[in-house]
């Protein structure tokens, strides 16, 4: 993938995820839901389009969508993660306090608050951007570069 190659796809996926959330009706219409008409047909169209995107694009966009943080903080985290793919890896064991101190040290290097960094790492692990060793999964490096425009 060349620079910016996936940026339009990422942007479209993020827009569709946002539409799914904002356009979902407050009061369900069971008849329309059952027959997939009206707003439900539109929502299904959004979901179908999202499912057409490559899996790594979907996962990456879901991560951005669910972290619910300012885009500047997301960009800071993603840039740090891309430039330091093993920064979050941890040795087996260690006390809670040691892990907390390690997160605080990494947060300072990354330019983020420790609680925010913990949130980002947790969501990245949950969504699959980080592997079991908390290292960036290789396929996401180029997506991050495209998303950040670098």
pLDDT one-digit tens code per residue, 93-130: 678 788 888 889 999 999 999 999 999 999 999 999 99
Overall average pLDDT of the 12-26 stretch: 92
Q: How far is CA 105 from CA 93, 112, 117, 136, in A?
A: 18, 10, 11, 18
User: Does the pTM exceed 0.75?
Assistant: yes
Helix (H), strand (E) counts: the chain: 8, 0
3 state DSSP class of 127:
helix
Find the range with the poorest average confidence among 31-35, 79-83, 98-102, 112-116: 31-35
How confident is the model over 39-66, as a mean pLDDT?
Answer: 95
Q: Is the pLDDT of residue 2 over 70?
A: no
* Average pLDDT of the segment spanning 47-75: 96
- The pairs formed by 73-76 with CB atoms below 8 angstroms and a separation of 24 or more are 73/112, 73/116, 74/120, 75/148, 76/110, 76/111, 76/112
Residue 115 is predicted with a pLDDT of 93
* pLDDT at position 56 over 50: yes
Residue 91 pLDDT > 70, yes or no? no
């Amino acid at each position: 993938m060349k620079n910016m190659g996936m940026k339009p796809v990422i942007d479209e996926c993020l827009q569709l995820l946002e539409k799914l959330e904002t356009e979902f009706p407050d009061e369900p219409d069971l008849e329309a839901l059952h027959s997939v008409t009206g707003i439900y047909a539109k929502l299904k169209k959004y979901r179908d389009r999202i499912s057409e995107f490559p899996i790594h694009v979907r996962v990456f966009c879901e991560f951005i969508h669910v972290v619910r943080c300012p885009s500047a903080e997301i960009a800071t985290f993603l840039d740090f993660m891309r430039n330091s793919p093993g920064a979050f890896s941890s040795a087996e064991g260690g006390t809670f306090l040691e892990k907390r101190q390690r997160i605080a040290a990494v947060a300072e290097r990354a330019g983020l608050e420790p609680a925010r960094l913990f949130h980002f790492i947790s969501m990245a692990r949950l969504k699959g951007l980080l592997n079991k060793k908390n290292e960036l999964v290789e396929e996401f490096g180029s997506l991050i570069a495209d998303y950040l425009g670098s």
